[in-house]
Chain A
Amino acid sequence: MTEQIYKTDALIAEDIDAYLETHQHKTMLRFITCGSVDDGKSTLIGRLLYDSKMIFEDQLAALESDSKKMGTQGQEIDFALLVDGLAAEREQGITIDVAYRFFATEKRKFIVADTPGHEQYTRNMVTGASTADLAVILIDARKGVLTQTRRHSYLAHLLGIKHLVLAVNKMDLVNYDQQVFDDIVAEYRAFAGTIGIEDFVAIPISGFKGDNITGPSGKTPWYQGPVLLPYLESVEVNNTLNQQKPFRMPVQWVNRPNLDFRGFSGLIATGSVKPGDEIRVLPSGKTSTIGRIVTYEGDREQAFAGETVTLTLTDEIDCSRGQVITHAKAPLEVADQFESTIVWMDEEELLPGRAYWMKIGTQTVSATVAHPKYQVNVNTMEHLAAKTLDLNAIGIANITTDREIPFEAYAENRDLGGFILIDKVTNRTVAAGMIHFALRRAHNIHWQAVDISREDHALMKNQKPAVLWMTGLSGSGKSTIANIVEKKLARMNRHTFLLDGDNVRHGLNKDLGFTDADRVENIRRVGEVAKLMTDAGLIVITAFISPFREERDMVRGMMASGEFVEVFVDTPLEVAEERDVKGLYAKARAGDLKNFTGIDSPYEAPESAEIRIDTTAMTPEEAADLIIAKLIP
C-alpha cells in the first residue's frame, strides 16, 4: 500500500468535511482493460482495487478462502478471483462478459470495463470500449505482441479511444529485463503506426507483485516513464473537448406538465447553450430561439455538453423525440444513406436487405444494410470479400434508412454517429455501427421530376396498379394460380405482368443462391422491379415462395398504400410434398438440396394476408376467381 492512501486515511479521520470537499470535485475516468486469457488482466484489476483500498475485510477473508480452493497462485492471494464474477465463469476459470469495476483515488473515480480476451468475444470488447476514455492493453512480457494484442488495439482505435496504455505485465517473470521490455515496445510501435495509432504510453508492470502500479518500482531502475495509477489519475478526460464543438442536443422527451409549458428534455451531446441562442431543429430545419434552460434547481444561464437539461423555445415549432436541436448557424447534415463500420453481435448473421431497427441518438428508424464492401480480419487487418457478416465480424457496408436523419461522423461525435441495429422479430441488439460519412447520392440525387406521372400511366391503361403477391411453399400452386389470374385479367383488358420465381432467377437474380441472405436480396430486387412496374401502371402478379415475413413486409412498405395485396397460397407441407411436381422435396429429403423451405429452412406463414387460398378446398380456377373478385370488386 502506498503513502498516498495513508494520507487519505489521515484526512478522513481528522477532517471529514475537508475530505468530502475534495471528493466532490473529483473527476471521472472510464477505461477498459484488454488482454488475452492469461495476461493477468483480472489480477491487475484486483490489484488496483486492493491498492486503492476497495476491498473490505470480509471480502478479503472470502478471497483468501477462495484462493486456497480454486486459486492459481498457490497459497498467495489470487486477485483474479475478486473480479471474475459469475459462478459459471469461475468454474471455467475465465471471464466471458463485460464486467464493470469501481475504484477511486484522491483525484479520480475510475470505472473499469473488464473485457475478455477470447477470440469469440469481440462483441464484449467493443461494448466495453464504447464508453471508455482510455484503454489499457496488457501484454505478457514472456509472450510479447500477440495476435490478440493487435486485435485489441485495432478495436480500441476503431471505437475512437484516444489514450492507449501498453502495460507490459509479468515483468517479475522475466527478471525485470529492460531488453525484453524495449523489444516489445519497439514491435508494438511498428504495428501501431500501421493502423493509425499515433501515440501510446508503455509501462513495465507486475500486477501480481505490484511493480509500477501505484509508485515507481525499485526493480526497474532503468524505467523513467509514468507509473500506471498516477498516469490514469492525470490523463485528460475528453468531455471538455466535446464542449468546444457546436451545440447539439438530441431530444429525448417532450416535457409537457400542463398547457402552459412545453420543454424539450435531453442530454447535451456537444457544445453549450444559453437563453437567447438561435437554434435549428433537424431534420425539419425549423428555427427558433432558446427561451429558458429549466432544471430542478432553477433556470440556468448556460449549460454544457454532458449535462441533462430541459429547454424551452420562444416559438411553437414542431419538435419531438428523435429530433436534434442544434446551433442555428452550425446545423447538422441530414441524410438517409451512409457508409459505416458494422460490428456484428448476433448468432444469426446479417441479412443484407432485411429491415432492422436502427437506434441512433434518441431516434429509432428502419434501416437496411447492403452487402458488405469488405470484412476486416481483426487479427491481420486484411480486407476480405464478404457476402454477409456473422457473429464478431467487422465489416464496412452502406446502410440506408427509411427517412432522412440528422447525424455526424462517429469520429466527430459518438452520440450522433454511433448506432445499434435491433432485430425486428427477436428484439435482440444484433450489431453496433459507426457512421463514416453520408453517401454523395443522399445529398445530390433528387427524384427526377417526370411529366408523365404514375397516375397518368395508370389512367392511360384505365386501371389501378397493384401487386398481387403470391406466397406459399414450393408446390403449393402459386405459379398455376398466378397464370390463370393473368389470363383472366388479360381477357378483361387489364395490363399485367407476371414475375415468376424460377424465371427471375434465370436472369435478374442469377447471381443469387439460396442462403437466407440471398433469399432476402432476391425478394428485395423483385420488390423494386414490381414497384417500377406499378409506376408504369401495371398490375403485377408475383409467384415467389418468399418465406420470411419481414421481407414480404419490406416489399409492402415499398408500395403505395393499398397497392400491395398479399395472397397466401395455403397448402399444408404434407400435401405439397405429396404433389412434389418438380421432384424437389424428394431431393431435399435425400439431402441433395440444401436450405429447402419447409424441410431445412423455415416458412413464416402470413399473419394477416389480404387473401388466403386454401388449395385443399378449392380448385385453381376458383382461387383465381376469388382473387380477381377481391382485386376488381
Chain B
Amino acid sequence: MRLPLIASGQTNQFGKEHMTTKTLTHLQRLEAEAIHIMREVVAEAENPVMLYSVGKDSAVMLHLAKKAFYPSPPPFPLLHVDTTWKFQDMYKLRDKAANDAGMDLIVHHNPEAVSRGINPFDHGALHTDMWKTEGLKQALDQYNFDAAFGGARRDEEKSRAKERVFSFRSANHRWDPKNQRPELWRLYNARKAKGESVRVFPLSNWTELDIWQYIHLEGIEIVPLYFAQERPTVERDGLTIMVDDDRMPLKDGEEPVMKSIRFRTLGCYPLTGAVQSTAETLPEVIQEMLLTTTSERQGRAIDHDQAASMEKKKQEGYF
C-alpha cells in the first residue's frame, strides 16, 4: 500500500538523508502481519494450500498472497471446496482469479454428496456438513495438505475470537478449544506430527470494515453480487433468496420478483440472504455497511441452527 509518508524531520547516525520514522496506518500494520504469517507457513509447512471461497475475504487473502511472495507467484495452490450450489458469478471469478495469480486451482466435490444428490432444499444442515465439512476433510487428506490458509476473522463470531492464528488440528481434523497453543509476539509454532495439520488465519485481526476499506484502497476485484443490481428474488423463511439458476424449485404461488439487492456475504445461493440496496459502488457499499444495524452473518442460514453452533461445527472440522 502506498500511502503518503508521515515523516518526522529527525535524523540518526545511520544516514542523514534518511527519514527516520513513518507512522504506519492500521491497514498497513494488518497487511504486514498477514504477509508475515503467510511467509512463516511457506517456510515451515511441507505442503500448504489456500482455501479459496471466492468471497471478499478470500479475495483479500489472495491479494495479500501475491504481495507476500512477489516476484514469485504464491508457492501453493488454491483449493475450492465446492458445493455446486454457489452463485454462477462466483464460479466465473474463481477461475479468472486463479489464472491471473498464476496459481493452480483445485476444485473438490465430495463424491458421496454428488452421488446422493445432496442439496440445500431437501437436506438442510446435512447439505453444509456433507459438501463443506466432509468435503474439506476429504480434500485435505487426498492431497496431504499439512497447512491450510483460511480467511476467517475473529470479529465474525464469538468462538472465532478465541481461535489462534495457527489453529492446530488433530489427524481427524478436530479442533480442541481447551488445548490451544499459546501464541506470543510474532512467533508461531507450526510444528506438528505426521498426519496432523494447521489451519492458518492471516486475517484474524481484520474487521469487516478493514476488509472493505482494503478492497477499496487496493482496487481488488470482487464478485459483482456484492453490488446492488436488479435480480430475481423470492422470500423464504425471512430471507431474501436470489433465483440464480433453474435448479431452484419454486413453491406453489411463488413467483420471482425483480428487486435491487446485493449480498454482504456469499455462500450457496439458496442459503444466502440478500439485502435490499441501491449501493452500486464500493463507497456506497461501505456507507451502507457502516449505517446498517445487523451483523454480517445474519444473512447466513447456517448460524441460526442452534446456540454456539459455530463452535460445534468448528470442533468437527468446519473451517
Name A residues whose Cβ lies closer than 8 Å to a Cβ of B.
9, 12-13, 16-17, 19-20, 23-28, 56-59, 84-88, 90, 97-102, 104, 108-109, 111, 123-124, 126-127, 130-131, 239-240, 243-244, 246-247, 252-253, 255-257, 261, 263, 265-267, 271-272, 274, 277, 294-297, 302, 304, 306-308, 310, 321, 327, 329-330, 345, 357, 359-360, 362, 414-415, 418-420, 422, 427-429, 432
Contacts and interface: CB of A to CB of B under 8 A. Distances in A.
5 contacts: A28-B26, A56-B293, A102-B205, A109-B207, A308-B35
B72 interface: yes
A98 B71 contact: no
B191 A104 contact: no
A432 to B, nearest CB: 5
A262 B27 CA distance: 28
A306 B29 contact: yes
Interface stretch (B50-58, B117-125, B151-159): B151-159
A272 B286 contact: no
Given A97-B162, A297-B1, A420-B184, A240 B205 contact: no
A266 B39 CA distance: 8
B25 interface: yes
A87 B311 contact: yes
Given A9-B291, A25-B3, A307-B28, 13 more contacts: A16-B284, A19-B287, A58-B294, A97-B162, A252-B43, A253-B43, A304-B21, A304-B24, A306-B24, A310-B71, A359-B187, A418-B187, A427-B189
Contacts of B177: 86, 88, 97
A23 B15 CA distance: 33
Contacts, number: 216
B50 to A, nearest CB: 16
Contacts of B96: none
Contacts of B192: 427
Contacts of B183: 127, 429
B69 interface: yes
Contact of B311 (A9, A86, A261): A86
B20 A295 contact: no
A240 B21 contact: yes
A255 B71 contact: yes
Contacts of B32: 267, 306-308
B14 A246 contact: yes
Interface in B16-70: 18-32, 35-36, 39-40, 42-43, 66-70
Contacts of A124: 182
Given A252-B40, A295-B67, A308-B68, A24 B27 contact: yes
A414 B184 CA distance: 10
Given A13-B291, A295-B67, A297-B2, A272 B19 contact: yes
A244 B293 contact: no
Interface stretch (B76-84, B210-218, B255-263): B210-218
B139 to A, nearest CB: 24
A127 B182 contact: yes
Interface in B275-310: 283-284, 286-287, 290-295, 298, 307-308
A111 B187 contact: no
A11 to B, nearest CB: 10
B14 A327 contact: yes
B204 interface: yes
A247 B14 CA distance: 9
Interface in B134-173: 154-155, 158-159, 161-162
A362 B181 contact: no
If over half of A's interface residues share one DSSP class (helix, strand or loop), that class is named, otherwise mixed; here it is: mixed
Nearest to A424: B191
Contact of B71 (A19, A261, A304): A261
A562 B179 CA distance: 40
Contact of A26 (B25, B68, B73, B191): B25
Contact of B184 (A126, A304, A321): A126
Given A28-B26, A97-B162, A59 B295 contact: yes
Interface in B227-246: none
Contacts of B25: 24-28
B107 interface: no
B115 interface: no
A244 B12 contact: yes
B180 interface: yes
A329 B14 contact: yes
B30 to A, nearest CB: 8
Contacts of A308: 31-32, 35-36, 39, 68
Contacts of A419: 187
A101 B207 CA distance: 10
A420 B187 contact: yes
A227 B18 CA distance: 37
Which of A25, A109, A432 counts the most chain B CB atoms within 10 A? A109
B20 A272 contact: yes
Contacts of B1: 297
B146 to A, nearest CB: 12
B251 interface: no
B22 A330 contact: no
B210 to A, nearest CB: 7
A127 B183 CA distance: 6
Contact of A296 (B8, B36, B70, B292): B70
A267 B186 contact: yes
Contacts of A88: 177-178
A20 B67 contact: no
B187 to A, nearest CB: 5
A127 B184 contact: yes
B71 A24 contact: no
B184 to A, nearest CB: 4
A261 B71 CA distance: 9
Nearest to A111: B205
A269 to B, nearest CB: 9
B181 A12 contact: no
